[in-house]
Amino acid sequence: MSETNSIVARAKLFFDGVGAMTYFGIRFFKELFTSPFEGKELLRQCYLIGNRSLVLVGVTGFILGLVFTLQSRPTLLEFGASSWMPSMVSLSIVREIGPVIFALICAGKIGSGIGAELGSMKVTEQIDAMEVSGTNPFKYLVVTRILATTLMLPLLILIGDAIALFGSALIENLKGEVSYLLYFNKVFDALEFSDLIPATIKSFFFGFAIGLVGCYKGYHCSKGTVGVGEASNTAVVYTSMLLFIIDFIAVFITDIFVEI
């Protein structure tokens, strides 16, 4: 009986959290279209989020292209299909692997950072001080960060994809003596707008999820300094789960449109 009560309590807590986060997201859209608009803070957050994550995304993309090509090349050579390497790598990275991997990397970097930053402001009562001074802390702190992650993540993913393809081309040039011009000609022959558009659209949702969860966990942080660590940790865990759910829904919808 106690185990049943524990399961019910956990389920209730989970759905309470989902409801609270949904309300948090609805409030974001409400505040987004009401004045005043924090344009300077939005630009500052876009710069910070993009600049601080660019090196990490670039290094990850380069290693992703190297490893993926090195692992796939022997199998394609065994079947005499090494000429398919540029097409296979480009489609795999652009459609699925790139957006998911880079979003997970940014979830750990950006989501935890936002959760820790807002959590620290919450426990030190800086957010309460902003409310007392007449400033809207939700618009200044939350709306700008969610919008910045939504706008910057697609750009980071596109840059990461390009660097990953360069890493793959480097391996093909060294191992298979394929020129960079020939490699990228095959890449662009294989890619179509139907490959880029779904990946780009879902990357906006990835960015929104990272910003939403990170801001929610930080904005509702409690338990003092211990709560800051919990907010940062749970932001990464919840965001990672949400990214996989969004990716599944996006792939499912895309598959339906392809069949039609």
For 11-32, write each residue's pLDDT tens digit.
Answer: 787 778 888 888 989 989 998 8
Domain count for the chain: 1
User: What's the confidence (pLDDT) of residue 3?
Assistant: 63
For 155-214, write each residue's pLDDT tens digit.
Answer: 999 999 999 999 999 998 888 778 889 889 999 888 888 888 889 999 999 999 999 999
- Is residue 201, in this structure, part of any structural domain at all? yes
- Is residue 208, in this structure, part of any structural domain at all? yes
- Is residue 71, in this structure, part of any structural domain at all? yes
* Sequential DSSP letters for 136-170: -HIIIIIIHHHHHHHHHHHHHHHHHHHHHHHHHHH
Q: Which of 134-138, 218-222, 240-244, 255-259 comes out lowest in average pLDDT?
A: 255-259
- Is residue 70, in this structure, part of any structural domain at all? yes
Distance between first and last Cα of the chain: 50
Q: Which two structure tokens, joined as six digits, stand for 178? A: 């394929």
Q: With 0-12 CB in 10 A as exposed, 13-18 as middle and 19+ as buried, what is 200?
A: middle
- Is residue 17, in this structure, part of any structural domain at all? no
Distance CA 192, CA 62 (A): 22
- Is residue 39, in this structure, part of any structural domain at all? no
- Is residue 18, in this structure, part of any structural domain at all? no
What pTM does this model have?
A: 0.90
Domain that holds residue 176: 54-255
